[in-house]
Amino acid sequence: MFVRQHILFSSLLASTLLTQATLADIAFSSPKAGATIKGSTIDVTFADGPGDPSINDFTSYTLQLCAGGNDADSYTPILTFTDKGDLSSPDYPAEITSLTIGGNTKNAYFLRTIGVAPGGTVINYSSRFTLSDMTGTFSPAVEAGLADVSGTDGPETDNQIANPQNAAVAPGASAAAGGPEYQVPYSMQTGVIRYAPMAVRAPSKITAKGDARQYPTSDYNIWLRTGMPAPIPTQTITDLFTYSVQSMEPTIAPAPQPSDDMQKFLNRWKD
pLDDT digits (tens, 9 = 90+) for 222-269: 655 566 566 666 667 787 776 676 777 878 887 777 777 777 888 887
pLDDT, mean over the chain: 77
The tens digit of pLDDT for each residue in 35-75 reads 999 999 999 999 888 777 888 888 888 899 999 999 888 89
Does residue 258 form part of some domain? no
Assess contact for 218 and 204: CB atoms under 8 A.
no
Burial class (CB in 10 A: 0-12, 13-18, 19+), 54: middle
Domain that holds residue 99: 22-187
3-state secondary structure of 29: strand
More confident residue, 177 or 261: 261
3-state secondary structure of 123: strand
3-state secondary structure of 21: helix
Does residue 234 form part of some domain? no
CATH number, position 57: 2.60.40.10
C-alpha 82/C-alpha 113 separation (Å) is 10
pLDDT at residue 10, rounded to an integer: 38
Does residue 245 form part of some domain? no
Does residue 222 form part of some domain? no
pLDDT at residue 81, rounded to an integer: 92
11 has pLDDT over 50: no
Does residue 150 form part of some domain? yes
Does residue 232 form part of some domain? no
3-state secondary structure of 183: helix
Assess contact for 163 and 121: CB atoms under 8 A.
no
Assess contact for 177 and 240: CB atoms under 8 A.
yes
Confidence band for 96, pLDDT divided at 50, 70 and 90: very high
Does residue 30 form part of some domain? yes
Does residue 60 form part of some domain? yes
Q: How many domains does the chain have?
A: 1
pLDDT at residue 119, rounded to an integer: 75
3-state secondary structure of 30: strand
Assess contact for 147 and 161: CB atoms under 8 A.
no
Assess contact for 123 and 61: CB atoms under 8 A.
no
Q: In Å, how far from its chain's centre is CA 220?
A: 24
C-alpha 26/C-alpha 122 separation (Å) is 8
pLDDT at residue 8, rounded to an integer: 36
According to DSSP, the β-strands at 120-125 and 109-117 are: antiparallel
φ/ψ of 122, rounded to 5, equals -130, 130
Confidence band for 108, pLDDT divided at 50, 70 and 90: very high
Confidence band for 220, pLDDT divided at 50, 70 and 90: low
C-alpha 173/C-alpha 156 separation (Å) is 22
The DSSP element (H or E) to which 206 belongs, if any, is none
Q: In Å, how far from its chain's centre is CA 94?
A: 18
